[in-house]
Structure 1
Amino acid sequence: MDRKEILKGVQSGKLTIDEAAEKLKGFDELGYAKIDTQRKERNGYPEIIYGEGKNLEQIKGIVKVLEQEERPILATRVSIEKGKALKTAFPKGEYFELARCFVLQPMEIQTSDYIAIVTAGTSDVSVAEEAAVTAETFGNQVKRIYDVGVAGIHRLFARLEDIQQASVVIVIAGMEGALVSVVGGLVNVPVIAVPTSIGYGSNFKGLTALLGMLNSCSSGVSVVNIDNGFGAAYNASMINQLRRKK
């Protein structure tokens, strides 16, 4: 609820002055968490729940607060056990096992422009699904283009038209991370690179891919942290929504 809505609530008698004052603080105090209820007004998107390290009751408590705002709710890095329990507690929500995400009240599709999510291999798909679910939760169309890495680059060219027509491209790769440089040289839209922890010994749990992507010779490439599908999709969503506002 933004400030104008709160003041209108007082004017109409739906909120008391004390209730309005509580909401105008901008956060709900739960003891173990301070829920940022005004983040959407500042940043365009509501607060996201990072599920790892939180117990089930904590996640449920945060969801209950955010649910009252009637806005998209996304919890990332949620285990299967917690995800199934959240689905029971909030039957209208959905748990995406591969993405490890729980979603409630997703936005409707806001634009015909789409985000292409491209992976080098099948082993990168769990990170890609975190990105896809995040993007879809916030009203974006997504095209999934999986397993088109440089080891069989003809597979990439078979989907090149779909990639080139996207408003923004997320490229997800482990090993040496070479795919992002190839894609970056073939498109005229922003490319967001996600290194993954997939690879043999000298991959160093994604560090090799990260350094390779940071040193990409293709222009227009930005890089997020290892396995950070959420961060890539958040940025891609902002880019895609800016196109809609033109």
Structure 2
Amino acid sequence: MILDQLKNLLRQGEQDGWGESDWTAALAQLAGPVVAPSTAELESARVDLDRLARCGYPEVVYAEGKTVESVVEIFAALSEAGQDCLATRVSAEQGEALVERFPEVEWNRVAGCVRWNRDSGPEIRGRVLVVTAGTTDRPVAEEAVETLRWMRCGVDCLEDVGVAGPHRLLERRDCLTSVDAIVVAAGMEGALPSVVGGWVACPVVAVPTSVGYGAALGGLAALLGMLNSCAANVTVVNIDAGFKAGFVAGLIARGAAVPGAEGE
């Protein structure tokens, strides 16, 4: 469509002998309806609508610390731009307001996430496994899961396989070898990602959780343990950062699914 319009402009300009001002006006008129605004100027925020084009995925709403009205307003701006929407760290009050305004959304209360994939498009071919050491790590893991679903990435879960019961992981070892990336959420001493990393050939994204008693230091002990992992395929995100772990793993899976990639 745009190419045909440009060809018509070239023909018309050549026939009519257009000058610089004529070309400028014609091109501005052509560009006007097709160049969408890159920022939604709201009362409470300036929403980056161009992030989808630049980075492959839209801006995500970090709801913690925002008013209910602000979260709904930002979510609406992304929706009106036709983009898939994800809000993280959503409170009960914020979640109820989003569900009331947008009945189509998925609200995962455990994850504290509200997600809206605008259509039922296909999943990307890459797949991610999300693993938890214990059931108290589940909220962080669920945030990763919702992020991956928002990215339209295939996701499987393996729960409660911490190192205190090592046989539990080995009983499900088949799950570890059929994915493109693995997210491992663990608190306490944070040992599980290193164990998983020693069994697989894919990247392992470790996310320390704030689960544990006093000397766990709110996840700092797990973070330091993971940063010092001797498994070469383990990388680490911030404490309780389920979104970041899921997003990085999703990008890895998407890259693995690109046609023409090694092994295709």
Cα distance between partner residues in 1 of 2:133 and 2:65? 29
Is 1:139 aligned to residue 152 of structure 2? yes
Aligned to 2:94: 82
Is 1:43 aligned to residue 55 of structure 2? yes
Amino acid at match of 2:102: F
Could you list the per-position Cα deviations for residues 202-233 of structure 1 after superposition, in whole angstroms to 9, with x for gaps in the alignment? Answer: 00000000000000000011100000000001
Aligned to 2:104: 92
Could you list the per-position Cα deviations for residues 77-133 of structure 1 after superposition, in whole angstroms to 9, with x for gaps in the alignment? Answer: 001221122101111112110000011125634234310001100000000000001
On the 8 A contact 1:196/1:227 being kept in 2, the answer is yes
Give the alignment's TM-score, normalised by structure 1. Answer: 0.90
Cα distance between partner residues in 2 of 1:112 and 1:37? 26
The change in CA–CA distance for 1:217 and 1:146 in structure 2 (over 3 A counts) is: same
Aligned to 1:207: 220
The equivalent position to 2:164 in structure 1, one of 130, 141, 151, is 151
Aligned to 2:68: 56
Cα RMSD between the aligned structures?
2.3
Aligned to 1:244: 257
Aligned to 1:192: 205
Where 2:124 maps in the other structure, the secondary structure is coil
Cα distance between partner residues in 1 of 2:93 and 2:42? 23
Where 1:192 maps in the other structure, the secondary structure is strand
How far 1:32 moved relative to its partner?
Answer: 1.8
On the 8 A contact 1:99/1:127 being kept in 2, the answer is yes
On the 8 A contact 2:68/2:93 being kept in 1, the answer is no
Could you list the per-position Cα deviations for residues 29-74 of structure 1 after superposition, in whole angstroms to 9, with x for gaps in the alignment? Answer: 1132111011011100000000001111111111111112222100
The change in CA–CA distance for 1:109 and 1:125 in structure 2 (over 3 A counts) is: farther
Query: After the TM superposition, which parts of structure 1 deviate over 6 Å for at least 4 consecutive aligned residues?
Result: none
Percentage identity across paired residues of the two chains:
43
How far 1:25 moved relative to its partner?
Answer: 4.5
Cα distance between partner residues in 1 of 2:62 and 2:211? 22
Cα distance between partner residues in 2 of 1:196 and 1:105? 27
On the 8 A contact 1:195/1:213 being kept in 2, the answer is yes
Larger Rg: 2
How far 1:28 moved relative to its partner?
Answer: 1.0
Cα distance between partner residues in 2 of 1:100 and 1:129? 8
Cα distance between partner residues in 1 of 2:139 and 2:88? 12
Is 1:110 aligned to residue 123 of structure 2? yes
Of 30-39 and 149-158, the range deviating more from structure 2: 30-39
The equivalent position to 2:240 in structure 1, one of 227, 231, 234, is 227
Cα distance between partner residues in 2 of 1:23 and 1:90? 27
On the 8 A contact 2:181/2:252 being kept in 1, the answer is yes
Cα distance between partner residues in 2 of 1:142 and 1:158? 19
How far 1:21 moved relative to its partner?
Answer: 7.9
Query: Unmatched 5+ residue regions in structure 1?
Result: none
